[in-house]
């Protein structure tokens, strides 16, 4: 699966990326974490509050740093 | 003393804390009226006060802001135009959760949904400028009339600035891709526990982000307060010099500090006889414009609109600075 972190590189985006990686590892899933920093692409998902979380092209969360447990539930 | 005055002194200005710290400084063998003792007193009192106020305020304000996610603000503003729409946008600025890293996505989201530039810019100017937490801190450090006047002039700059930008007809100066962005609306309503955890997360995140600025700001404030002779400061940026306001603004624009870090400096400068307008211009320049946000904005708008935005905001700040310096005597 592909997990995308939408955000211009602020601290929150980094934290969300780490949590996503931990969640995928804990769930034993092969996940590729992609950081999307381009505004055009971020906006393409209709996101107005960063960081956003996209799992397999589905936008699942905006504007918050989900914990690894929260992300695991979404995987 | 009336009840309101007492509450204001003890809760907002934290007179009890000032007394406590003064007693502590004396107990440590330092004279609070001496230079060193005074600096230590100012530093310890201000740091504790700002962190207490910051935590309480961010929590309360974030709770309010959780009711106004950008999607909702966009819905409220949709289909409106004219001066009242600008005013509404300026008023929604402070209650919508905002960080400088999400200003660009908000700009894109608003513009893509067809909101006029006038409305979007009123929102984008007022959101960092009229920051609710900093307004209450202003009331704590200075007084309520100053804080409320700050809010009013901040809103006026946002309304007038947005209107001017709208009048310039610069819709073509927005990067092309912005108009082809899909507009998504989420209707997810938060539960109370989600709001509470959102507010708690905001406190942790903001305190984590701003604490170095606060320490540096209070440190500089304490140094100015007790070590820099007033004559030097007034000679440089005193009220009688016409260049004080432009200098304060130009110094503030590229600075990427936090309003919470600039407040203690402002407090110390006003104590040394610097005009209130000069200090407010500095604070507004630091918060409304910063180099990182200008660079980010450049990626979604073209040069002419960028320059217009900078001119309008800088002009507004200068105007406020000069006006406040003239009427300083009304407040202090």
* Residue B272: closest CA among B25, B17, B51, B42: B42
Which residues of chain B are within 8 Å of residue A40 when distances are taken between CB atoms?
175, 177, 181
Residue B124: domain span: 33-179+189-331
Q: φ and ψ at B262, to 5 degrees?
A: -80, -25
Under-50 pLDDT residues of chain B: none
In a domain, B14, yes or no: no
Query: Total structural domains in chain B?
Result: 1
**pLDDT value at residue B100:** 66
Q: Does domain A2-74 have CATH number 3.40.30.10?
A: yes
| CB-CB under 8 Å, B105 with A50 | yes
| CB-CB under 8 Å, A59 with B182 | no
* CA atoms of B68 and B72, how far apart (whole Å): 6
In a domain, B4, yes or no: no
pLDDT tens digit string along A21-58? 888 888 888 888 888 888 778 888 888 888 889 988 88
**pLDDT value at residue B186:** 66
Three-class DSSP category at A4: strand
**pLDDT value at residue B117:** 92
| CB-CB under 8 Å, B181 with A40 | yes
Is residue B101 within 8 angstroms of chain A, CB to CB?
yes
**pLDDT value at residue B49:** 87
**pLDDT value at residue B169:** 85
Mutant choice from A6, A44, A46, A63 vs B, greatest count of B C-beta within 10 A = A46
The answer to ipTM > 0.85 is no
In a domain, B7, yes or no: no
Domain boundaries, chain A: 2-74
Could you tell me which residues of chain A have a Cβ less than 8 Å from any Cβ in chain B?
7-12, 39-40, 42-50, 59, 62-65
In a domain, B282, yes or no: yes
| CB-CB under 8 Å, A65 with B177 | no
**Cβ contact B136:B268 at 8 Å:** no
pLDDT tens digit string along B123-141? 998 988 888 877 888 888 7
A74 is catalytic: no
């Amino acid at each position: 699966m592909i997990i995308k972190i939408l955000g211009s590189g602020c601290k929150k985006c980094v934290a969300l990326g780490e949590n996503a990686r931990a969640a995928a590892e804990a769930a034993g899933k092969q996940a590729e974490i992609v950081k999307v920093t381009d505004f055009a692409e971020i906006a393409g998902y209709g996101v107005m509050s960063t960081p956003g979380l996209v799992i397999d092209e589905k936008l699942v969360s905006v504007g918050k740093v989900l914990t690894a447990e929260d992300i695991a539930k979404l995987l | 003393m009336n009840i309101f005055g007492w509450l204001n002194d003890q809760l907002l200005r934290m007179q009890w804390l000032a007394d406590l710290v003064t007693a502590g400084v004396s107990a440590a063998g330092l004279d609070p009226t001496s230079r060193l003792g005074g600096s230590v007193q100012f530093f310890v009192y201000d740091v504790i006060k700002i962190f207490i106020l910051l935590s309480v305020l961010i929590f309360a304000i974030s709770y309010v802001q959780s009711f106004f996610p950008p999607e909702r603000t966009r819905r409220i503003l949709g289909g409106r135009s004219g001066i009242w729409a600008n005013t509404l946008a300026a008023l929604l600025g402070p209650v919508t959760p905002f960080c400088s890293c999400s200003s660009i996505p908000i700009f894109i989201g608003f513009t893509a949904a067809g909101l006029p530039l006038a409305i979007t810019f009123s929102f984008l100017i007022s959101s960092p400028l009229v920051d609710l937490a900093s307004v209450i801190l202003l009331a704590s450090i200075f007084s309520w009339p100053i804080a409320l006047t700050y809010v009013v002039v901040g809103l006026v700059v946002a309304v007038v600035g947005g209107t001017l930008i709208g009048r310039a007809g610069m819709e073509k100066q927005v990067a092309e891709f912005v108009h082809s962005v899909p507009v998504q609306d989420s209707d997810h309503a938060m539960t109370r526990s989600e709001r509470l955890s959102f507010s708690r997360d905001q406190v942790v995140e903001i305190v984590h982000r701003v604490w170095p600025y606060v320490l540096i700001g209070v440190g500089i404030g304490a140094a100015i307060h007790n070590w820099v002779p007033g004559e030097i400061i007034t000679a440089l940026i005193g009220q009688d010099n016409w260049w004080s306001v432009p200098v304060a603004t130009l110094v503030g624009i590229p600075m990427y500090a936090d309003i919470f870090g600039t407040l203690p400096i402002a407090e110390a400068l006003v104590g040394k006889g610097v005009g209130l307008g000069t200090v407010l211009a500095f604070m507004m320049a630091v918060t409304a414009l910063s180099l990182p946000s200008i660079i980010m904005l450049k990626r979604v708008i073209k040069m002419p609109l960028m320059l217009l935005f900078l001119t309008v905001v800088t002009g507004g700040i200068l105007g406020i600075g000069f006006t406040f310096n003239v009427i300083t005597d009304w407040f202090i």
